């Protein structure tokens, strides 16, 4: 608040320096926000496409799976899938998008398209469902990576937007008000001094 | 950051999880004795960096999952189950757009 600050030249210099830093920070944060928004829009479009693809293929796999379940019986289905088809090889790293560390995933292709059961007691639908899921897995990884990136970018954009707004609508106007208050106060003091000096001069001249 | 080996898991009812199990993903059914957030935390500590959760289970622990939002791992995403009609994932995408931009422009 303007009334709580010291109207001194030192305070004025300090406030001017702070205002300069705040304006620079505001510009940088605004640029960061714009950059992140651009990246976010690209990612969210990709997210939507991947989601639609995964959901339709998963629905197809689920349909094949339920057909297999009704053809074989739940117990036999459970027995056939008791042993997993193999260990999934996924490498995870991270990359930097506008100082936000987001995950990167890659499948090392170690999961073979082989079926983990014998063909004697299993149905054709189960083979199709299993192979569909195996083929879908790399897309699922892409979706996981993309969705997490979108979640993280959305949170970071929201945080940055709040900071930008706080600087733009609270801090910078307040500093400008304080600078104006101190400048006016100092000018007022200057005028008082001049008036005092003129008075003194008049008193001296009148003697 | 150097690449590290990650494991994938799925949490969901038998009907959903069996599908992923066929693809080689470790399957965990929603626990009766401990809460799902605790299971997620346990799985992450055991090296599971990617956790798929059936939509119905995910909805129940959505708030707890938010604490993992600031770190790249674990990646926790909802996957459709037998009850889903695709609207939940669309809602999540719309919510993210609204959070980032202020309104759902797309």
Residue A33 is predicted with a pLDDT of: 95
In a domain, B11, yes or no: yes
How many independent structural domains does chain B possess? Answer: 1
In a domain, B36, yes or no: yes
What is the overall mean pLDDT for chain B? 84
What whole-number distance in Å separates Cα of residue A87 and Cα of residue A205? 104
Q: What are the residues facing A101 on neighbouring strands?
A: A96
Q: What percent of chain B has pLDDT over 70?
A: 96
By the 10 Å C-beta count (0-12 exposed, 13-18 middle, 19+ buried), A97 is classed as: middle
Among the partner residues A44, A103, A133, nearest to B96 by beta-carbon distance: A44
User: Which pLDDT score is estimated for A179?
Assistant: 97
pLDDT of residue A2: 47
Mean pLDDT by 10 residues, chain A (207 residues): 79 96 97 95 94 89 81 69 67 89 81 62 75 86 94 95 96 96 96 96 93
Beta carbons of B19 and A62 less than 8 Å apart: yes
Quick one: pLDDT at residue B65? 87
Per the structure, the complete domain to which residue B47 belongs is given by 7-101
CB contact under 8 A, B2 and A144: no
Q: Flag whether the pTM goes above 0.90.
A: no
Cα separation, B100 vs A41, in Å, equals 9
Q: Are B23 and A136 in contact (CB under 8 A)?
A: yes
Count of A-B CB contacts under 8 Å: 140
Residues of A within 8 A of B106 (CB-CB) are 44-45, 48
Q: Does B1 touch chain A (CB under 8 A)?
A: yes
Evaluate whether residue B68 is within a structural domain.
Answer: yes
Q: Inform me whether the C-beta atom of residue B64 falls under 8 Å from chain A C-beta atoms.
A: no
Name the token pair of B102. Answer: 């202020």
Which CATH number fits the domain that encloses residue B92?
Answer: 3.40.50.10580
* Domains, chain A, ordered by start: 2-206 (1.10.287.3240)
Place of tokens 């995408």: B93
Tens-place pLDDT, residues B55-78: 888 888 888 888 898 899 999 999
Partners of A62 on chain B (C-beta within 8 Å) are 16, 19, 82
Give yes or no for A105 touching B (CB within 8 A).
Answer: yes
Specify whether the CB–CB gap between A62 and B82 falls below 8 A: yes
- DSSP symbols for B17-50: HHHHHHTT-EEEPPPSSS-HHHHHHHHHHTTEEE
- Is B54 a domain residue? yes
Q: Which of A122, A197, A107, A31 is nearest to A205 (CA)?
A: A197
β partners of residue A114: none
User: Could you report the predicted ipTM of this complex, rounded to two decimals?
Assistant: 0.90
């Amino acid at each position: 608040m303007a009334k709580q600050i010291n109207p001194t030249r030192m305070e004025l210099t300090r406030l001017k320096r702070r205002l300069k830093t705040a304006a620079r920070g505001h510009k940088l944060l605004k640029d960061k926000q714009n950059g992140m928004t651009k990246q976010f829009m690209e990612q969210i479009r990709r997210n939507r496409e991947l989601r639609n693809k995964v959901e339709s293929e998963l629905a197809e796999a689920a349909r094949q799976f339920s057909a297999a379940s009704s053809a074989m019986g739940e117990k036999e289905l459970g027995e056939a899938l008791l042993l997993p088809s193999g260990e999934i090889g996924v490498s995870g790293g991270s990359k930097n998008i506008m100082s936000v560390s987001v995950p990167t995933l890659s499948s090392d292709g170690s999961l073979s398209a082989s079926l983990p059961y014998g063909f004697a007691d299993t149905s054709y639908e189960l083979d199709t469902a299993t192979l569909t899921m195996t083929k879908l897995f790399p897309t699922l990884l892409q979706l996981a990576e993309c969705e997490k990136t979108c979640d993280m970018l959305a949170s970071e954009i929201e945080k940055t937007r709040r900071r930008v707004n706080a600087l733009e609508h609270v801090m910078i106007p307040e500093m400008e008000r304080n600078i104006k208050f101190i400048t006016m106060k100092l000018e007022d003091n200057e005028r008082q001094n001049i008036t005092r000096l003129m008075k003194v001069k008049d008193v001296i001249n009148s003697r | 950051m150097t690449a590290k080996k990650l494991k994938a898991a799925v949490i969901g009812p038998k009907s959903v999880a069996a599908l992923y199990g066929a693809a080689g993903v470790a399957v965990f059914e929603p626990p009766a004795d401990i809460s799902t957030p605790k299971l997620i935390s346990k799985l992450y500590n055991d090296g599971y960096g990617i956790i798929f959760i059936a939509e119905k289970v995910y909805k129940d622990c959505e708030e707890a999952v938010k604490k993992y939002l600031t770190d790249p791992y674990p990646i926790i995403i909802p996957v459709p189950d037998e009850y889903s009609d695709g609207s939940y994932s669309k809602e999540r995408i719309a919510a993210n757009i609204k959070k980032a931009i202020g309104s759902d422009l797309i």
